[in-house]
Structure 1
Amino acid sequence: MNDGLVTRRSTRDVGETISALRAEAERVGAAVAAVVDHAAAARQAGLSMPDTQVIIFGNPQAGTPPMQARPEIAIDLPLRLMVRDDGQPGALVTWQDPGYLAQRYGLSEDQSAPLNAPAKIASVVDGH
């Protein structure tokens, strides 16, 4: 089943993985718009969940052309990486499959190239 997601294991914990992803995103010229800490929000609501954070990043020079081709893709931009603790060593890093998005929006290879950024950024913490 292709659920449109790609997941890889980081050898680092959630916090260290988020820090490494943020540094790599900025190194390649992406602006980090936000880091959403779902577990912290759950704690504030009196609930608990495993450490789960989402880093949201983008680069208008890369993201604008796909939106010009298919304005609907703006619902999936800026790009993001989810990092979560699954109880095993390290953390899981998940992002949207660029091929899935390209097919969903009918983008050409050139138009969909910027969607490969999460995989490239995540490679800095890839544990396999």
Structure 2
Amino acid sequence: MTSGLVSRRSAADVEQTVASIRREAESRGATVFAVIDHAGAARDAGLDMPATQVLILGSPKSGTPLMLATPELAIDLPLRILVRADGGPGSVVSWQEPEFVATRFNLPGEQLTTLAAPSALVDAVLGAQTRRE
């Protein structure tokens, strides 16, 4: 594990996992600002890269007060979730640990709820996969 990151394995491939996380985020009222397809960009540049996508998501209603209190936090917002193929079954889903971000910016504990959104989304999606299996 890279310091400050949490990773979990999804039974689904990158595209399916990204689509599931996106649906879950939107069903909870979050905005998905973009999905960056790093592998697609690599292909366009004539390079080869395993499937790798990053969802950029958040809630301006939740994130804006955090950035007003701590402007430097804008470097980490909106939140990001990385989904990548690693040669194993399914895909790997990674995001920043809320505590890591909170410690880095000396944020009070009550602000962890907003930063924990990726954990809640991934838990919901991967929990649904387990229930289907």
> Scaled by the length of structure 2, what TM-score is found?
0.91
Asked if the contact 1:69–1:107 (Cα under 8 Å) also holds between the matched residues in 2, the reply is no
How many residues align? The count is 128
Match of 1:73 in 2: 73
Q: Which residue of 1 aligns with 2:95?
A: 95
Amino acid in structure 2 at the alignment position of 1:47: L
Distance 1:4 1:20, change over 3 A: same
Q: What is the RMSD of the two structures over their aligned residues, measured on CA atoms?
A: 1.4
Q: Which residue type is aligned with residue 12 of structure 2?
A: R
Q: Return the alpha-carbon distance in structure 1 between the equivalents of residues 2 and 55 of structure 2.
A: 23
Q: Which runs of 4+ in 1 moved over 4 A?
A: none
**What residue number does 1:104 align with?**
104
1:18 — aligned with what?
18
Q: Which runs of 5+ in 1 are unaligned?
A: none
Instruction: Please name the residue that 2:36 is paired with.
Output: 36
Matched-pair identity in %: 53
Which runs of no fewer than 5 residues in structure 2 stay unpaired?
Answer: none
Question: What is the identity, as a one-letter code, of the residue corresponding to 2:16?
Answer: E
Q: Using the TM superposition, give the Cα deviation of residue 2 of structure 1 relative to its aligned residue in structure 2, in angstroms.
A: 6.1
Aligned ranges for residues 37-76 of structure 1 at < 5 Å? 37-76=37-76
Q: Which moved more, 1:108-117 or 1:86-95?
A: 108-117
Give the number of the structure with larger relative contact order, counting CA–CA contacts within 8 Å between residues 6 or more apart: 1
